[in-house]
Amino acid sequence: MSEISKANNPSLKSWIEVKAGSDFPIQNIPFGVYRRDNSLPLVATIIGEHVIDLSSMYENGFLRDCGLKENVFRRKSLNAFISLGKSTTRKVREKLSELFRHDNPLLRDDIMNRNRVMHRVSEVELLLPVEIGDYTDFYSSIHHATNVGMMFRDPEKALLPNWKHLPVGYHGRVSTIYASGHSFYRPKGQTHPKENEPPVFGPTLMLDFELETAFVVGKETAQGECITTASAEEYIFGMMLFNDWSARDIQTWEYVPLGPFLAKNFASTISPWVVTLDALESFRCTGFKQEPEVLPYLRYEGDKNIDINLEVCIKPEKQKETRVCLSNYKYLYWTMEQQLAHHTVNGCSVRVGDIMASGTISGPASGSFGSMLEITWRGTRPVTMSDGSERKFILDQDTVIMRGWSEKEGVRIGFGECRAKVLPAK
């Protein structure tokens, strides 16, 4: 049995309590970075509601035989660990699966070391998991692209001529990517509300979320190297949830001719745990039939899409949250492998820790649309919150919460929350 299949075995149980519906059973073992009591950041994993300090695990001898020559977990990011390569990171995941299995007494019965390495998630701060060098945002959902095209262009020509031939993308801003749990100020900029009048300046009136996922590059390339769709998975360490906040009114005025700028660079929110591709292997599914047939460098074999449920909720201040979207990663037209192959086909190099986001993920029906722009159809169909208020777009003091999970054979592999709150403009 391979390391991946052993760690993914649906019959595995942990001696750590894992409540029903948890995102983090023993079959998951994602990786992240935490801090406790303002101490230095350290690399960790999580099972149930317990964060497990991998730095302490290494120092106390529990991660022997994993090919680790130094404590790569005493770092502020996952980059050094990821750089060791999948053969090593898989050994660590397998070793953790073995150590926390219900019938393994080695750490279970060692109370002193258990107390050193385990902390309740409610008692720690979860940080940005990777040191991000570059960030690319794609536009890979055919339902989202069609909806937006219908709103702003001829509905008969909703998709631009290139859309079905290549994964459209743009380079985003790294300095304003934050870990889940942050707050940010409503952005300001130019808008053009009246066609025959000059533009105006002020806070956006059309603040929107974008339901996305992102993947982390786990292996670097040199300039001139190309990653193929067949080899792409060796270059992808894992996935996170991603909210690529957008100011729609600013975007409408500025995006021609060079695309998004101030409308997109003020804030993006990322979930704190990187779920490995290995943990998601059981949830692979068939992707879209791509017509017309794509060029040879974008073709692939096998099931390259993934069945991941994606949920968005809005929580007004001091009120209960309201679900406004239930979508699925499998609705993406362009796969991660195609995105990475296209990104590097011109010789563009990638580095460990680079992230690439999917673009808004929308399904075929209104309940699965991945942005307020689509859900309210540009503000013409407001949605009602639990407190009776209505939303066309996101208001000050609103918190947007994204969740994602795959479920099969009684095993749920989740990402945790991707949460952020909007503050009034400065």
Query: Which is it for strands 211-217 and 200-203: parallel, antiparallel or unpaired?
Result: unpaired
- Cis-peptide into 161, omega within 30 deg: no
Task: Identify whether the C-beta of residue 290 lies closer than 8 Å to the C-beta of residue 333.
Answer: yes
Task: Identify whether the C-beta of residue 271 lies closer than 8 Å to the C-beta of residue 250.
Answer: no
Q: CB under 8 Å to 340, separation ≥6 — which residues?
A: 217, 227, 232, 235, 236, 350, 356
Question: Of how many residues is the chain composed?
Answer: 426
How many whole angstroms separate alpha carbon 410 and alpha carbon 416?
A: 18
Q: CB under 8 Å to 126, separation ≥6 — which residues?
A: 32, 33, 34, 51, 179, 180, 181, 272, 273
Task: Identify whether the C-beta of residue 41 lies closer than 8 Å to the C-beta of residue 81.
Answer: no
The runs of H, that is alpha helices, within 153-240 are none
49-74 core/surface letters (b: 16 or more CB in 10 A; e: else) = ebbbbbbbbbeeebbeebebeebbbb
144 as an active site residue: the answer is yes
Q: CB under 8 Å to 403, separation ≥6 — which residues?
A: 23, 241, 310, 311, 313, 414, 415, 416, 417, 418
How many whole angstroms separate alpha carbon 204 and alpha carbon 55?
A: 44
Of 144, 165, 171, 192, the catalytic one is: 144
Q: Could you tell me the two tokens for 151?
A: 């709103």
Q: What is the DSSP string of 275-337?
A: EETTTTGGGEE-----SSPPPGGG---S--EE--EEEEEEE-TTS--EEEEEEEGGGBSS-HH
Query: Please, what is the Cα angle at 385 between 264 and 364, to 5 degrees?
Result: 60
Amino acid identity of 42?
A: L
DSSP state of 15: S
Residue identified by tokens 């040199």 is: 222
Residue identified by tokens 């003091």 is: 397
Catalytic residues: 144
